[in-house]
Amino acid sequence: MLRRQFLGTTVGAGAAAAASMVWSSRTARAAAADDIRVAVIGFNSRGQSHLKDLGKHVVALCDVDAHVLSKSADKLAENGQKVDKFTDFRKLLEQKNIDAVSVATPNHTHALIAVLAAQAGKDVYLEKPVSHNVWEGRQIVAAAKRYGRIIQTGTQSRSSDGLRDAAAWVQAGNLGAIKYALGTCYKRRPSIGKQTRPLQIPSFIDRDLWIAGAKDQPIYRPEKNSQGGI
């Protein structure tokens, strides 16, 4: 099933289940912020910041790379923080004692995980970009509304006090009528390279979950640029 078909089916169907879905009993009991239990999905790169920032709230980890998963879980255990481990994010979402998920997987999996997490009664923090395209982003919004979930994305600067004050100052007319705005961002990114033979996915990575809804085709990236957790 294509990603677009899956998302359309997930959000558009299951009305009966959606009508009966309420916040999990665990979430209802999370009266204080200190009681919130979070799972981090994907943490071989940006997700490491999630682990650090969420601290004691992290109770579960999920990654398709068994090596990445074990390394981070063992590191937390050394500091007295025991977490559950999952390879398949769908199994993680079945856990009733998890209130929210923090997602830093490859971009093409963002919409899939966000929609299913909302459907499972979890709130979501989702790294940018939230989706592969605009249509998928709209399905995330629809899922948040249908299932009564909070889904936040990582556009931190939009909630900055300084930028909010600046926007209010401009909107108050202090610069006159704004005709157009131009934004630029220069960040040179070198080529990731390309090898002559297709990449062989290591056995410790769940290939199907890593590819998820993306087109299944030969991958010519160098190995060092391909072994990211989902």
pLDDT at 122 over 80: yes
User: What pLDDT, on a 0 to 100 scale, did the predictor assign at position 224?
Assistant: 66
Q: Residue 229, Cα to own-chain centre: how many angstroms?
A: 12
Q: Quote the pTM value.
A: 0.76
From residue 48, how far is each of 63, 68, 69, 196, 230 by CA, in Å?
12, 11, 12, 32, 13
Please name which of 72, 78, 153, 99 lies closest in space to residue 86, comparing C-alpha atoms.
72
For the beta carbon of residue 139, count every other beta carbon within 10 angstroms.
Answer: 22
Please name which of 132, 130, 134 lies closest in space to residue 213, comparing C-alpha atoms.
132
The kind and range of the H/E element at 38 are strand 38-41
d(C-alpha 99, C-alpha 43), whole Å: 19
d(C-alpha 148, C-alpha 88), whole Å: 24
d(C-alpha 144, C-alpha 90), whole Å: 18
Average pLDDT (202-212) is 91
Question: 2 — phi, psi (to 5°)?
Answer: -70, 155
User: What pLDDT, on a 0 to 100 scale, did the predictor assign at position 32?
Assistant: 61
Phi-psi region of 202 (alpha: psi -120 to 50; beta: other; left: phi over 0): beta
User: What pLDDT, on a 0 to 100 scale, did the predictor assign at position 125?
Assistant: 95
pLDDT in tens, 2-20: 555 544 454 444 333 333 3
Please name which of 128, 101, 87 lies closest in space to residue 230, comparing C-alpha atoms.
87
Per-residue H/E/C for 111-177: HHHHHHHHHCCCEEEECCCCCCCHHHHHHHHHHHHHHCCCEEECCHHHHCHHHHHHHHHHHCCCCCC
Angle (nearest 5°) at CA 153 between 210 and 80: 70
pLDDT at 186 over 50: yes
pLDDT in tens, 123-155: 999 999 999 899 999 999 999 999 999 999 987
pLDDT band at 192 (very low <50, low <70, confident <90, very high): confident
d(C-alpha 170, C-alpha 136), whole Å: 32
